[in-house]
Structure 1
Amino acid sequence: MKRWDLPVIESMLQSSPYVVTLVIDIISGHIESDTELEKKKKGQIDRISTLPDSILLRILSFLPTKDAVETGVLSKRWAYLWTSVPYLLFDFNHFECTDDFASAVDHTLLLHRASKLTNFSVRFKYKKDLKPRVDLWVRFATAAKVDQLSLDFSPPCYIDLDGYQLPQHLYANEFISELNLSYCKIFPNGLLHWSSLKHLCIGQSPLHEDVIRKVLMGSPRLESLELHDCWEFNRLDIVSESLKKLVIDGYLMGMSKRYAPVLELEIVAPKIHSLEILGNFYYTTCRIKDVSALVEVKLDFDMRRRYHSEEDNYIKEVYGYKEYRGIVRDILQSVHHVKKLTVGNWCLMVVSLIIAKHPPSLQKKCICTTETNMENWNLLTKCQCLTMETNMENWNLPGIAFLLQSSPYLETLNFHIPPFCRIGTEYLRWSYHAGNHWELKDTYFKFLLLCLKSVKIQSYGGLMGKKELNFVVQFLLKNAKVLEKMVITPPRAWQNPTHDMLRGSLQMAQKLLSFPRSSPHAVVIFSYL
């Protein structure tokens, strides 16, 4: 190894953040003595230790801090090398009790001597009596001008109001570019000053609307905001010019101090380009008011309310889905202009519920019935990429057909099939019959896919070969005039198949390959990656 090789190695390490195994074969460039050759045969030559500190520190950065510290027993060269690592990652999973974990963090920070930290991450079950020590950890990280700070805390038993309250000095920081806070209370006394912050993720925390405003005003470079299972706000008014991505993953209605049988959450974000609404919104409705700049949307949420018995679920769903239909319809209307749309299983089920009883007319481009209340439906005229997460049950087909029919300029179509997902099917099982769909399939699917070029079907469960999946594949091959490629990826279990699985796979492949194709260039690929 020559000195001029070192920048190449360091560059390769920096561009490989997820490296698991590193092997370096070093050519010494000189004639080895008999002693050296003998040591080499016995594996006694330590060539890793001859590498410069910059590369060794980069290697240690891939390890949890506990493992990096343990390398100090290797030799004198390694004894205190870990103390200069700019990445400190503390995870409670490597310890048996909280006290041992806290003591290990204290001891590590006492010996650590790096003047600048790239990443400081602490993950453990927070207890109130540890607040003074956690305050010192945060002070240590900010004094080292940390770039990425993660306080990934969780409650000892269940989510409560005793989360970690951030120290006031943290609200004035000009170095942090990525901040991850979980089970933390955010209550700044004055204005915030996060001048370098680009990515902010907050989870399991109360968030008042005035705090959200302060965060947005005090973060002029903020590009991405994620809220996971937060509460206390009912309106998100995103006025930031820099924010481009907003993720709302669940809302904990039960933690809110505001009493309301149902909370209505409003989202106003005229400047963002990407929006994701995910997770559980029990007893919470969601309305999107202004998202005119949106390009990409993911709708994978669930608003069902939980009841004690299946009978209660069925009775409540009969009435509840009337409300759900209106909410899902309005959200889809609000994002009709996006280029990339992902629709989750529950949302697709609600769309199917709307369409099942009132199939679209061949002569109309909208659905105009009083009960469905889909008057003046705007087509997804700008949608070029559509992803549907569906278990490919019979009652999903009306929703699939409607979204396809609403996307005349679709170029890329993706299906993600989960392993086993029984989402709110009690009502549909009783109110929707398979025969109705098959009798009306010509009505549903009488349209041309003139722009569709790529189809990808990714299965994560055992649903390959189902008649509904076969029907969708057959329809797409028959009607997509310019289709170039259809990739079908079976579940991971099929990567090590049994004899019966191989036989079933072959039969399925033969059946799918026998379907007629309208595009002369269409190829069907079975991927086992």
Structure 2
Amino acid sequence: MSSLNADSDDDILRSFSQSSKRHKSLEIMSDSDDEDFSQLWKRHRTSGSRIKKPALDRITALPDSLRLHVLSFLPVEEVIKTQVLSRRWQHLWTCTASLVFRLRDPVFIGKSVGEFVKFVDNTLLLCKCDKLEKFVVKFAYVPIYASNVNRWTRFATGSGVEELQLIFEESPDDFDEVDDYLLPQHLYTNSSFKALQFSMCNVMPKVVVCWNSLTKLTIGRAKLSEDVIQKILAGSPVLEVLELYYFYGFNRLHVSNASVKKLILRDVWEHEEEVEDDANPSVLEISAPCLHSLEISGSLGYKVFRLANVSSLVDAILNSYGSEDYERYSDMLGGFLQRIVHVKKITLGDWAIQLLSVMEGKGLRSPLMKCECLTLETVIRDSVLPGIARMLESSHNLETLVITMSRCGEYFEEELYGLCDFDEKHYWTSQKKVFTCLLFSLQKVKFIGLERYELDLYLSFVQFLLMNAKMLQKMVINARMGGYNPQKEFSGAAQKLLSFPRYSRSAVVLLYE
């Protein structure tokens, strides 16, 4: 397959775009002015000239390489349909470098898993691509199709595929637990892979892993062991992103690869093998001295996360949730914050902020953070206000504060009872604390997804920030107004904002929907 010529292809696309505009204007003119078109036709008849055949359409005139690039953005079933356009299109689809098969795509509505598997088999028999960029299969796997999937992986690796995704789901018709797909050993020794994703697959390499080009690895819904993870890391010298979701089977994750810069852990699998009593919680220790970005999100299951060496971390996200075991998780969060005191960018979710509120109410101290950008994904209400105040107090170098609407729940209600015995609308004006960041560093504040019915609580916080942030330069408020008269609601909010005094004379406040 020939490589794309950027200059010539851009010229062709530009020409096609201009041509499309001309045809469109002509069509509008002909529909709106029948008399002019009739006169034009009469002159053509009297001149005795012949009607010219339309030129080959511009898309068909594009080089094969560019048309294949366009086809790579379409679902494979749509790509196959292009063969009816003309002779030049008839066999073009067989050379497409991107094959994506998903049982949930509209074309397969009402089709069985068996029909989907047969479609994939038949399609691959006709494909002639020498170099495959992307191969994706997503369907409800059952073991009777193991040989089919094995053939698909042989096809993909034989075509030098760069991105391979085997995303298997539980069948809604199967109530009995079925065996996951066992990855064939030949997949572990392929240097063409750049991105891999496996879901509901048994990852059990018996050979030396050789993924010399792999930069991103995602594994989900799987049992893993520390030995398997170390074997994979040892065989992936340029791996940059490691993502695990719905995982279980190990208690220590040590990432020593200097290349790995981002680690994502989401939704620990609450598997019966790891269910332990409250006195002996399951612990996952993370050590990654070269890591730059860490994200822990979704359900913690029965796990307690502990950070060991994360000395190079610059971006940390804790947007997870666990049980309401205050003693267990307050120790975890306290240790987490202690390990990320040097991190410049921190994101905390609703569960963690409520836990901080309890810790604040019980008088527990926070470490001084070097955070410069703090994002809080929550809804402002009484159960999170002390937690927000705690983070502001401990972040002396804070320059940017972002509050974004996110999924929220009520946690630690027993511990919070009595601790939040205050008027939430006057919480900030009653504060006696000294917020160093408001005096010396906070420059930008952003509220995202502000709802109309929470406006008063948010505006009391906005007023507090405007009155106390000496270095503030910009405040952006993205509000979602509703009700019977959203324009009136918006105007009322704008008037309130204009009435608030500002410590910083250069502060600009932007309110928009």
TM-score by length of 2: 0.86
SS in 2 for 1:490: strand
Q: Which whole-Å deviations, capped at 9, do the CAs of 1:42-83 have from their partners, x for residues lacking one?
A: xx9633212221121111111010111111122222111111
Q: Is the 8 A contact 1:199 1:223 kept in 2?
A: yes
Which structure is larger by alpha-carbon Rg, 1 or 2? 2
Trace 1:413-428 onto structure 2 (pairs within 5 A).
413-418=401-406, 421-424=408-411, 426-427=413-414
Q: Do the aligned partners of residues 421 and 27 (structure 1) sit closer, same or farther apart at CA in structure 2, a change above 3 Å counting?
A: closer
Shift in Å, 1:499: 5.2
Q: Which residue of 2 aligns with 1:392?
A: 380
Q: Which residue of 2 aligns with 1:53?
A: 64
Q: Is the 8 A contact 1:85 1:114 kept in 2?
A: yes
Q: Tell me, in whole angstroms, the C-alpha distance in 2 between the residues paired with 1:268 and 1:326.
A: 18
Q: Tell me, in whole angstroms, the C-alpha distance in 2 between the residues paired with 1:282 and 1:148.
A: 30
Question: Which residue of the other structure, out of 252, 270, 290, is the alignment partner of 1:253?
Answer: 270
State whether structure 2 residue 420 is matched by structure 1 residue 433.
yes
Q: Which residue of 1 aligns with 2:297?
A: 278
Q: Is the 8 A contact 2:450 2:477 kept in 1?
A: no
Shift in Å, 1:498: 6.5
Shift in Å, 1:434: 4.1
Shift in Å, 1:181: 0.9
Q: Is the 8 A contact 1:155 1:163 kept in 2?
A: no
Q: Is the 8 A contact 2:374 2:401 kept in 1?
A: yes
- The one-letter amino acid of 1:103's match is K
Q: Is the 8 A contact 1:232 1:258 kept in 2?
A: no
Q: Which whole-Å deviations, capped at 9, do the CAs of 1:356-410 have from their partners, x for residues lacking one?
A: 243xxxxxxxxxxxxx3x4xx4201x21111001110112111111111111111
Q: Which whole-Å deviations, capped at 9, do the CAs of 1:70-100 have from their partners, x for residues lacking one?
A: 1112222211111111011111112122111
Trace 1:200-239 onto structure 2 (pairs within 5 A).
200-239=217-256
- Point out where structure 2 has 5 or more consecutive residues left out of the alignment: 23-40
Q: Tell me, in whole angstroms, the C-alpha distance in 1 between the residues paired with 2:160 and 2:495.
A: 60
Shift in Å, 1:470: 1.2
Q: Which residue of 2 aligns with 1:167?
A: 184
Q: Do the aligned partners of residues 10 and 248 (structure 1) sit closer, same or farther apart at CA in structure 2, a change above 3 Å counting?
A: farther
- The one-letter amino acid of 2:470's match is K
Q: Which residue of 1 aligns with 2:312?
A: 293
Question: Which residue of the other structure, out of 88, 99, 114, is the alignment partner of 1:88?
Answer: 99
Q: Which residue of 2 aligns with 1:480?
A: 469
SS in 2 for 1:103: helix
Shift in Å, 1:426: 3.3
Q: Which residue of 2 aligns with 1:504?
A: 489
- The one-letter amino acid of 2:199's match is S
Q: Is the 8 A contact 1:165 1:186 kept in 2?
A: yes
Question: Which residue of the other structure, out of 330, 340, 353, is the alignment partner of 1:348?
Answer: 353
Q: Which residue of 2 aligns with 1:177?
A: 194
Q: Is the 8 A contact 1:394 1:468 kept in 2?
A: no
Shift in Å, 1:526: 1.8
- The one-letter amino acid of 1:24's match is S
- Point out where structure 1 has 5 or more consecutive residues left out of the alignment: 13-21, 305-316, 359-371
Q: Is the 8 A contact 1:180 1:200 kept in 2?
A: yes
Report the RMSD for the aligned CA atoms in angstroms: 2.8
Shift in Å, 1:7: 3.1
Q: Tell me, in whole angstroms, the C-alpha distance in 1 between the residues paired with 2:12 and 2:395.
A: 47
Q: Tell me, in whole angstroms, the C-alpha distance in 2 between the residues paired with 1:523 and 1:133.
A: 61
Q: Tell me, in whole angstroms, the C-alpha distance in 2 between the residues paired with 1:327 and 1:28.
A: 61
Shift in Å, 1:27: 8.2
Q: Is the 8 A contact 1:395 1:434 kept in 2?
A: no
Q: Which whole-Å deviations, capped at 9, do the CAs of 1:446-491 have from their partners, x for residues lacking one?
A: 54341111111101655541x3211211111111112111111123
Q: Is the 8 A contact 1:390 1:416 kept in 2?
A: yes
Trace 1:9-408 onto structure 2 (pairs within 5 A).
24-26=17-19, 46-94=57-105, 95=108, 96-157=111-172, 162-256=179-273, 262-304=281-323, 317=324, 320-358=325-363, 372=364, 374=365, 377-380=366-369, 382-408=370-396
Shift in Å, 1:114: 0.8
Q: Tell me, in whole angstroms, the C-alpha distance in 1 between the residues paired with 2:367 and 2:78.
A: 56
Q: Tell me, in whole angstroms, the C-alpha distance in 2 between the residues paired with 1:79 and 1:10.
A: 22
- The one-letter amino acid of 2:360's match is I
- Say how many residue pairs are matched: 474
Q: Do the aligned partners of residues 255 and 439 (structure 1) sit closer, same or farther apart at CA in structure 2, a change above 3 Å counting?
A: closer
Q: Which residue of 2 aligns with 1:364?
A: none
Shift in Å, 1:255: 4.7
Q: Do the aligned partners of residues 472 and 10 (structure 1) sit closer, same or farther apart at CA in structure 2, a change above 3 Å counting?
A: farther
